[in-house]
Structure 1
């Protein structure tokens, strides 16, 4: 009798549990079907998007692991190439700046040297002019061999000594950039000559220098003092 009672109780409990499970399943199904279509679609959309994102992430991760060493080496090579180009550009700029500095320094030194000796050179020009004036005072006829006598020999010796001294002085000045020029017979150049007078002359071309009153001087190719000249004016 006890066994029968226990069996009946067990069957009753199993029936109650089965009934509760069925009710719970029916309740969940009703709550799912009571949702709106938009909510269901939204749930499905988020679910599919998450799955697609996971797949893409896994694929990118797999590709990154597969191409990782090559991509890293390629990036390093590109970085080194960019660094080399930058260093080369800096090197060329530095060389150009250094050469410009050398040229500018040489020009400054030359200008400073010319300026330093310019006043001294102008003072020497007066001495050279005095030598030229002294030599021009001796008539050329007395310097000819047939005109030499016992009385004129001393004058000839003095003239030769002054002429030799003048030549040595001019040679020394030329070594340092100071050079004398005589434009006699040349075309008048207002940048190098200073016309003190003009006169017509039939046997010479117009605007030609026919007389040098004072010779000019150049210092390192630049006009230190223009020559004072007489110019032909036939027009």
Structure 2
């Protein structure tokens, strides 16, 4: 568009600078047109200078106008990008903080659950033990009755028991006491209370209490050869150790 306007302006300037030649003086046409040639050449030179100056001005203006809109949006975009990066950094820090809090809460929750399960299992074990050993005090008191029955049975000599016709009343009493003891022991066994009579068994300090030791060549050392008092266990727990005599090691 600018080039067209420039060409039109140069044409108009040429037309205005060229003198008109009339047809009424043909003789002087050639002579009058000669001095106009230098004028045409000078006008063309001015047009060329004018066009080059305009082109230089146009280029400078284009560079100036092109530079301004190019730098300003870049600065705005850089500022916006900087703000966005700052916001992202702040959000990332917040996310990291939340992740750390989540890990801490998760760790606390897992520990709380583990402690709850441990407490629950401990409570179940204690309840089981309470059920199993709730009669422990009663069993210890009942053991004395069993000891009295044993003493009563041992008080009847074997000779009197063998002669049932002569000692019928005594044999009947012995048999009654024996039946009572058997029923009592079976009832106690149903509830986990068992009698310990370790005669001839190896000595076990967990359930036996050695009251004396004797060297016996015909028996193995550390063997129970005499039961002074029977023991009792309640669901595998010793509530009374058996008092026994143990065979000692041979003298060196």
| Class of the TM-score when normalised by the shorter of the 2 chains | 0.5 to 0.7
Q: State the partner residue of 2:167.
A: 152
Using a 3 Å threshold, how does the CA distance of structure 1 residues 64 and 184 change in structure 2: closer, same or farther?
same
Partner-residue secondary structure (3-state), 2:135: helix
For residues 12-40 of structure 1, the C-alpha deviation after alignment (integer angstroms, 9 at most, x for no partner) is xxxxxxxxxxxxxxxxxxxxxxxxxxxxx
Question: Is 2:208 aligned against 1:190?
Answer: no
> Counterparts of 2:73 and 2:230 in 1: how far apart (Å)?
100
> Counterparts of 1:132 and 1:165 in 2: how far apart (Å)?
11
> Counterparts of 1:111 and 1:53 in 2: how far apart (Å)?
85
Partner-residue secondary structure (3-state), 1:121: helix
Partner-residue secondary structure (3-state), 1:206: coil
Contact 2:213 2:245 in 1 (8 A): yes
Structure 1 residue 203: Cα displacement? 0.7
Question: Is 2:74 aligned against 1:55?
Answer: yes
Which segments of 5 or more consecutive residues in structure 2 lack a partner in the other structure?
A: 1-69, 85-90
Which segments of 5 or more consecutive residues in structure 1 lack a partner in the other structure?
A: 1-50, 66-71
Question: Is 2:206 aligned against 1:181?
Answer: no
Structure label with greater radius of gyration: 2
Bigger shift: residues 200-209 or 214-223: 214-223
Question: Is 2:189 aligned against 1:171?
Answer: no
> Counterparts of 1:149 and 1:169 in 2: how far apart (Å)?
25
Structure 1 residue 60: Cα displacement? 7.3
> Counterparts of 1:126 and 1:219 in 2: how far apart (Å)?
15
Using a 3 Å threshold, how does the CA distance of structure 1 residues 168 and 81 change in structure 2: closer, same or farther?
farther
Q: State the partner residue of 2:225.
A: 210
Q: State the partner residue of 1:8.
A: none
Pairwise CA RMSD: 4.0
For residues 105-126 of structure 1, the C-alpha deviation after alignment (integer angstroms, 9 at most, x for no partner) is 2343355567753332221111
Partner-residue secondary structure (3-state), 2:210: strand
Q: 2:154 aligns with which of 129, 136, 160?
A: 136
> Counterparts of 1:97 and 1:165 in 2: how far apart (Å)?
50
Q: State the partner residue of 1:98.
A: 116
Using a 3 Å threshold, how does the CA distance of structure 1 residues 92 and 161 change in structure 2: closer, same or farther?
farther
User: TM-score with structure 1 length normalisation?
Assistant: 0.57
Q: State the partner residue of 1:220.
A: 235
Paired residues in the alignment total 177
Structure 1 residue 133: Cα displacement? 1.3
Structure 1 residue 171: Cα displacement? 2.3
> Counterparts of 1:231 and 1:56 in 2: how far apart (Å)?
103
Bigger shift: residues 89-98 or 55-64: 55-64
